[in-house]
């Protein structure tokens, strides 16, 4: 099922991606690179007034081709604003990230959250299909980069606080603090979706709801969010993101209240990206004797164009557990401190012949400190 409409979510404990290439020969493609988006309650909730909750979250997210797909996607020459059809073949992307997340209660109802991601990304693709190599097979081009990604600042308000429930809408701004100028192994600018930053502001709306089904034993939660990112200076605009998550956490053993088991389902929908560019296609054997050869011009007009093979649908299940260290070791170092681990297992993926997110892993530490007395 191909994703064809224009329209998931604030990356929870994460950050995402950005563009590249100055000439047709080194045109880059609409490679994808996303991150895990597990819902972590200590991130989404509004802490009590004066309480600072700090999360350190590590995630490992591989992306690969699905069976039955070949990964042939368009190339993008951002310097000359050219979209080249079938010019590029994806192989693999691996993103590792450490997100530093600060969540502070300004009042009993109002909170602010700041998430700063640091990413390591490696990527491989074959560039120049129909153009490079004796038989137009293209050239293997690796890429790697690391650094700070786009920071997210979110204001949240607890609408309906009770002893057993809360409903928290949020509004966030994704600030373009991540690099957009990294080059591949040939020294050419990489494409936007592979960069560490997006290159322009993004707005994020979210809603978090939780309810204690069994007081102090079983808790249900829901999270939904929407992100819109504006077009960057390369003429590239990431498609809108929609995200829905539903899950529960519970304490299975009465004698071990420090151990909680958790499970959640995630659905994510990403709309096609868009670029302001002219349109070409890679040369094929039918173009002989000009094969291998320069791409063929289809439309020289620079206009807004949907980027084929972007946009995706993703559905996954994430089992996990959390250990309250204060309940295991009584010391000042473990006070209000927890460890947690999740895996994110895909159930259904439609990546439009592009790379698809594989099984991912998340490990985190949460610690809370009362800075001001209420």
**Confidence at residue 104, expressed as pLDDT on a 0 to 100 scale:** 96
Token pair belonging to 48 = 């009590």
Distances (CA, A) of 247 to 135, 189, 224: 51, 41, 12
What's the pLDDT at 11?
A: 33
Q: Is the pLDDT of residue 10 over 50?
A: no
The pLDDT of residue 273 is above 50: yes
Percentage above 90 pLDDT, the chain: 80
Q: Match domain 28-370 to its CATH number in 3.50.50.60, 2.40.128.130, 2.40.110.10, 3.40.1010.10.
A: 2.40.128.130
Residue 37: its pLDDT value, please? 67
Q: Is pLDDT above 60 for 344?
A: yes
Tally DSSP H helices, then E strands, for the chain. 2, 19
Mean pLDDT value across the chain: 89
pLDDT at 78 over 90: no
DSSP characters over 4-55: -S------TT----B---SSSTT-EE-----------HHHHS-PPTTEEEEE
Alpha helices in the chain (DSSP H): 41-44, 325-328
pLDDT tens column, 33-73:
555 567 876 778 899 999 999 999 999 999 999 999 999 99
Express each pLDDT in 102-153 by its tens digit.
999 999 999 999 999 999 999 999 999 999 999 999 999 999 999 999 999 9
Confidence of residue 160 (pLDDT cuts 50, 70, 90): confident
């Amino acid at each position: 099922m191909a994703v064809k409409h224009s329209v998931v979510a604030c990356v929870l404990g994460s950050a995402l991606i950005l563009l590249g290439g100055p000439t047709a020969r080194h045109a880059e493609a609409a490679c994808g690179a996303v991150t895990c988006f597990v819902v972590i309650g200590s991130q989404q909730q509004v802490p009590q007034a004066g309480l600072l909750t700090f999360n350190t979250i590590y995630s490992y997210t591989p992306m690969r081709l699905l069976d039955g797909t070949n990964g042939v996607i368009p190339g993008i020459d951002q310097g000359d604003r050219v979209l080249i059809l079938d010019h590029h073949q994806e192989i693999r992307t691996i993103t590792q990230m450490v997100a530093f997340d600060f969540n502070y209660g300004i009042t009993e109802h109002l909170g602010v959250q700041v998430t700063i991601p640091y990413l390591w990304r490696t990527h491989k693709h074959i560039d120049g299909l129909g153009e490079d190599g004796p038989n137009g097979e293209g050239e293997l081009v690796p890429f790697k980069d690391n650094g700070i990604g786009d920071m997210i600042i979110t204001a949240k308000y607890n609408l309906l606080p009770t002893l057993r429930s809360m409903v928290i809408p949020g509004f966030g701004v994704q600030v373009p603090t991540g690099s957009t100028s990294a080059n591949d192994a040939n020294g050419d600018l990489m494409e936007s979706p592979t960069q560490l930053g997006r290159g322009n502001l993004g707005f994020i709306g979210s809603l978090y709801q939780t309810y204690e089904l069994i007081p102090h034993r079983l808790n249900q939660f829901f999270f939904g969010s929407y992100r819109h990112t504006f077009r960057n200076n390369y003429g590239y605009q990431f498609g809108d993101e929609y995200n829905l998550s539903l899950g529960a956490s519970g304490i299975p053993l009465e004698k071990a209240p420090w151990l909680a088991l958790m499970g959640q389902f995630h659905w994510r929908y990403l709309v096609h990206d868009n670029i302001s560019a002219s349109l070409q296609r890679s040369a094929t054997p039918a173009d002989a004797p000009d094969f291998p050869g320069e791409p063929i011009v289809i439309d020289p007009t620079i206009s807004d164009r949907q980027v084929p093979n972007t946009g995706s649908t993703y559905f996954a299940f994430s089992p996990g557990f959390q250990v309250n260290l204060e309940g295991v070791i009584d010391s000042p170092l473990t006070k209000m401190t927890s460890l947690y681990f999740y895996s994110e297992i895909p159930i259904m993926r439609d990546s439009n012949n592009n790379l698809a997110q594989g099984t991912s892993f998340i490990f985190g530490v949460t610690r809370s400190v009362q800075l001001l007395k209420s």
